[in-house]
C-alpha cells in the first residue's frame, strides 16, 4: 500500500503528484496490462534479446 504524507501547508496537487510518481514506479498498471493476454516464453525471450541488442548498439555508437 502506498502512503503519501501531506505536510502542513503543502498543496494537495503536489501530494497527488508524489502519489502518482510512487504508483508509476511500482509498475502495477504495467503488470496488469501485460497480464491481459498471454505471451509465449519464446516471444518474451525474443523481446529481451532484441532489447539487449538495441542497448548494446547504442553503447557501441556512443563509444565511437
What does residue 32 show for φ and ψ, rounded to 5 degrees? Answer: -65, -45
The pLDDT value given to residue 1: 82
The whole-angstrom separation of Cα 64 and Cα 61 is 5
Identify the H or E element spanning 29.
Answer: helix 28-34
DSSP letter, residue 5: P
Helices (H) and strands (E) in the chain, counts: 3, 0
Question: Tens digit of pLDDT for each residue in 13-41?
Answer: 999 999 999 999 999 999 999 999 999 99
Distance CA 46, CA 35 (A): 18
Give the model's confidence band at 64: pLDDT under 50 very low, under 70 low, under 90 confident, else very high. Answer: confident
Predicted pLDDT at 40: 96
Amino acid at each position: 500500500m502506498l502512503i503519501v504524507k501531506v505536510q502542513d501547508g503543502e498543496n494537495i496537487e503536489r501530494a497527488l503528484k508524489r502519489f502518482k510518481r510512487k504508483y508509476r514506479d511500482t509498475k502495477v498498471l504495467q503488470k496488469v496490462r501485460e497480464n491481459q493476454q498471454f505471451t509465449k516464453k519464446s516471444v518474451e525471450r525474443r523481446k529481451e534479446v532484441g532489447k539487449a541488442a538495441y542497448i548494446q548498439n547504442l553503447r557501441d555508437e556512443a563509444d565511437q
